[in-house]
Structure 1
């Protein structure tokens, strides 16, 4: 292990306490003078004088050289952390973390600090480390994430009684800061799981996808749809955007022949323009993971169309397959993939095995691609492929 060298005595002593807090069990913590780093003899004298003062105070012990170097300090060892804290007028991380937890608990008022989070914060903060990006010094920044996590748990338990909301409105109503949810997504979901393990339980979902399923969107997207919809027949447009709250106004001129959901916008537009000119099929844009409004419309459409005519086209990567699997579950396990097969002989990465972030049932229509990705096949972005029309049968 390389020696930690300094030309500034205060920084050297602070370093001893930093390493003590990171590993309180260690009994051999040293610092060394950076001999080549001193600009002149006066700097050396000042450095050694300050270390000798700390040693006289009882905080450290000094090791001197031999022979002609018997008056030169070669190393300083931490011998009494409590005394060094006092010498430097520094608050120990253990006390600072306890104070931060106490202040955080009081600031939350009637909202309870999850016991698991409390233990994790203490474990990190007592060693002067961060929990995520939150430290004992900036404990106030955890107030909003905890409030938002409680709000999300309450929403998940009473989902049907809450209207859909955009991120900023929800965040402002819950904690008074309209940007807090967007800035703390990962922490909010993690804390929500601690409050109620059933909330946002699937760890393969991204935080934004969990919130989408709870009716919370960054920006409420319109439902983009193409097919035998009355408004499209009247205008001649290739597709239509409908506000999520107005999906009940969609009327079909004829019963759709098939349904194709498409993950990405460019592929959706191209498919509508190039592959569905007669608008016999319904084409629905999911925008990545489908919003709650898109999920509701998808389930409604599934009741209108034969189960063997339900298709999804998305990225051939683990995120894309996860979206397929989610929609497949909504469709009762009847969903077929469209243009989501990997050509393994051509599209193969050399000697690269991957761990899938979720399990996929063997009977899934994308199971072959799932296995190919795990065994080293390269992912394929949807936009790389030209759209191909659904089978005519």
Structure 2
């Protein structure tokens, strides 16, 4: 019977050779090339065992493993002159022995694993979100070229589940607690959190159209939350002939269902102010900003979560249908930094084409720069990249100041009035 040690060395040798084969042009093209996958014993991961002077049996076991594999035609061994069967030089994997090598290891051939992944991702070709379709198309193209495309080829079930999640996300009308989402999709309230959350976040960080700060922010944008979030607003918004939200001086927090059912009757405001940070939102309610009153204030929380997006859509839709721009201006107030600028443009692009910045200009920046927070080279490179983007042309002055002083000014540090 073959020694256990010999079997283990056979596995190690085959693993090393198949790894080289899988990284080779021969594998990627599917056509055997002139050069076979090979390892030089003296430079391989087996070298320490092979040259172990304290245990000569290791070399004997390796020789025995090589002999068995050679006998089956899987490999070819070369020896230095006058050292045949004494000192191995190189070990080559025969192309004809690849299938048998996988069999001995008890592994599915990599090309079959990649084909399985491609099949798993195929339903996403018809996904309603263009950025998901683009990822699917690019990834499947790489899989077709026999490249792993950064995927874990040994976990096809994980990608089946990920596809199931991605297909379900567009159907989420409101922000859905992750455990409710998991129970609905997998009949296990913790399955998403344990098995898929990390993989989904990793993917979103690569392909989501907006660059966000926290993992939670990415989940928010696709409708998954730890717990339901309220949408905060205060000011003149009439949702019923006898219900004007301005009567609630401390503002209101609307649930996702309330936002869904809300029908705007009128917006008798002179100004709408979108506010990035929660502290500033509460300060605005206590000390109104220097803007034409009355002011309708809406807290966005940075990039707005799904329910807040629905409210903004309703406000935007109402204003568009009423075709009233007379006397009503819409502002956004956020941090003067890379994130704040991008949030502003997101809101302008998706909800309010005539949106204007409030206290996010060069004069305000210079007034508060001394109390600003330093930022590093990574943020500087991202800011510099915006200078070449036509969509950020209005921000060149502010970006220039940010790059000159290398400080960001948080909204909370700026006076309301």
TM-score computed with the length of structure 2 as normaliser: 0.64
Do 1:60 and 1:84's aligned partners in 2 also have CA atoms closer than 8 Å?
no
Match among 276, 282, 296 for residue 282 of structure 1? 296
Relative to structure 1, is the Cα distance of residues 41 and 376 closer, same or farther in structure 2, using a 3 angstrom cutoff?
farther
Once the two structures are TM-superposed, the CA of residue 112 in structure 1 deviates from its matched residue by 3.8
Match of 1:261 in 2: 274
Matches of 1:29 and 1:349, distance apart in 2? 45
Matches of 1:217 and 1:143, distance apart in 2? 22
Matches of 1:376 and 1:17, distance apart in 2? 53
Once the two structures are TM-superposed, the CA of residue 220 in structure 1 deviates from its matched residue by 3.5
Match of 2:258 in 1: 246
Matches of 2:72 and 2:94, distance apart in 1? 11
Match of 2:20 in 1: 19
Q: Work out whether 1:51 is the aligned partner of 2:66.
A: yes
Number of residue pairs aligned between Structure 1 and Structure 2: 354
Do 1:94 and 1:125's aligned partners in 2 also have CA atoms closer than 8 Å?
no
Do 2:117 and 2:159's aligned partners in 1 also have CA atoms closer than 8 Å?
no
CA offset digits 1:203-237 (Å, max 9, x no partner) = 23669878867766564321222446866756x64
Relative to structure 1, is the Cα distance of residues 228 and 182 closer, same or farther in structure 2, using a 3 angstrom cutoff?
same
Matches of 1:271 and 1:332, distance apart in 2? 24
Do 1:267 and 1:382's aligned partners in 2 also have CA atoms closer than 8 Å?
no
Structure 2 stretches lacking a partner, 5+ long: 1-7, 27-34, 127-132, 238-243
Matches of 1:376 and 1:62, distance apart in 2? 63
Do 2:386 and 2:392's aligned partners in 1 also have CA atoms closer than 8 Å?
no
Once the two structures are TM-superposed, the CA of residue 306 in structure 1 deviates from its matched residue by 6.0
Match of 1:120 in 2: 139
Match of 1:166 in 2: 176
Q: Work out whether 1:388 is the aligned partner of 2:415.
A: yes
Matches of 2:83 and 2:217, distance apart in 1? 69
Match of 2:160 in 1: 143
CA offset digits 1:320-374 (Å, max 9, x no partner) = 222211322422324223235454998797896443499453664x45334666x
Q: Secondary structure at the match of 2:273?
A: strand
Matches of 1:35 and 1:65, distance apart in 2? 19
Matches of 2:202 and 2:69, distance apart in 1? 41
Match among 334, 358, 362 for residue 337 of structure 1? 358
1:215-230 correspondence runs (5 A): 219-227=227-235
Relative to structure 1, is the Cα distance of residues 112 and 175 closer, same or farther in structure 2, using a 3 angstrom cutoff?
farther
Q: Secondary structure at the match of 2:232?
A: strand
Match of 2:210 in 1: 204
Once the two structures are TM-superposed, the CA of residue 16 in structure 1 deviates from its matched residue by 0.8
Q: Work out whether 1:369 is the aligned partner of 2:401.
A: no
Do 2:175 and 2:229's aligned partners in 1 also have CA atoms closer than 8 Å?
no
Structure 1 stretches lacking a partner, 5+ long: 1-6, 106-110, 156-161, 194-201
Match of 1:10 in 2: 11
Match of 1:3 in 2: none
Once the two structures are TM-superposed, the CA of residue 166 in structure 1 deviates from its matched residue by 1.2
Matches of 2:331 and 2:408, distance apart in 1? 18
Matches of 2:138 and 2:377, distance apart in 1? 44
Match of 1:198 in 2: none
1:19-38 correspondence runs (5 A): 19-25=20-26, 27-32=36-41, 33-35=46-48, 38=52
Do 1:307 and 1:335's aligned partners in 2 also have CA atoms closer than 8 Å?
no
Matches of 1:389 and 1:93, distance apart in 2? 61
Do 1:60 and 1:79's aligned partners in 2 also have CA atoms closer than 8 Å?
yes
Q: Secondary structure at the match of 1:312?
A: strand
Match of 2:29 in 1: none
Once the two structures are TM-superposed, the CA of residue 125 in structure 1 deviates from its matched residue by 8.8
